Homo-oligomer: A and B are copies of this chain.
Amino acid sequence: MPGPVSHTYEYPRPALTVDCVVFGLDDEDLKVLLIRRGVEPFAGRWALPGGFVRMEESLDDAARRELEEEAGIRPNHLEQLYTFGAPGRDPRGRVVTVAYFALVKLSDHVPHASTDAKEAAWFSVWDTPKLAFDHAEVLGTALQRLKGKVRYQPIGFELLPPKFTLTQLQRLYEVVLERELDKRNFRKKILAMDLLEELDEVEQDVSHRAARLYRFDHKKYKQLEKAGFNFEL
């Protein structure tokens, strides 16, 4: 096997990584996907999934590859969050990381670890273990982005199952925004936007009275958005 090839440049270059903040929602809480590092630095510490960008792949592709490799996850919603490049953020030397932000339906994603990740698991975003690198700051930035965005873009639906009750939807907003919402007001606002399709189905297997199920109408939203409509909750 050939040894590592060396790469020489006239000026020093930082290393470039991607790191991904993957959010999921269960009945209780907003969750973030973490992996337990198997290698130094910070071996044994929990961290965001991520790794080095390859020379021939785009940044988005690097984020998708790392999520697949490290946790077997293929998110529907993935967007670039922010690039973190403070000179001292990685003990190996200058490493700049392009952070991504993903939303998944938790039920679809039982994470499994692979490659250099020892374990992968979901943690409550409000109660994570001590994270490696500056990943606590990255997570904080992602939470802020999510809080800001759910109000002006219908991305929250990416966290719900395809069919959901209005109670589940309200719970999502309450969990993300960290405050209780008035039920009557919330329903009035969301139904007034006319973006939910009321289904001829109710919840299954619940002990209380089964509630009506709804579906988000992506197609209609795209049309309204083109016409200048602003989602707002």
| A16 CA / B98 CA spacing, docked (Å) | 12
Contact flag A52-B11 (CB < 8 Å), given A80-B83, A86-B58, A87-B57 = yes
| A83 CA / B53 CA spacing, docked (Å) | 13
Chain A residues near B (Cβ < 8 Å)? 4, 6-16, 52-53, 55-59, 80, 82-83, 85-87, 94, 96, 98, 152
Point out the residues of chain B lying under 8 angstroms from A14, CB to CB: 13, 16, 53, 55
Q: Are B55 and A83 in contact (CB under 8 A)?
A: no
Which secondary structure dominates where chain A touches chain B?
loop
| A73 CA / B55 CA spacing, docked (Å) | 34
Closest to A12 in B: B7
A-B contact pairs, 26 of them (CB 8 A): A4-B10, A4-B11, A6-B8, A6-B9, A7-B8, A7-B9, A7-B11, A7-B13, A8-B8, A9-B15, A11-B52, A12-B55, A13-B13, A14-B55, A16-B85, A16-B96, A53-B85, A53-B96, A55-B87, A55-B94, A57-B87, A59-B85, A80-B82, A83-B98, A85-B98, A152-B152
Point out the residues of chain B lying under 8 angstroms from A57, CB to CB: 87
Other A-B contacts than A14-B53, A55-B94, A83-B83, 8 sampled, CB-CB below 8 A, are: A4-B10, A7-B8, A8-B8, A9-B15, A12-B55, A53-B85, A58-B87, A85-B98
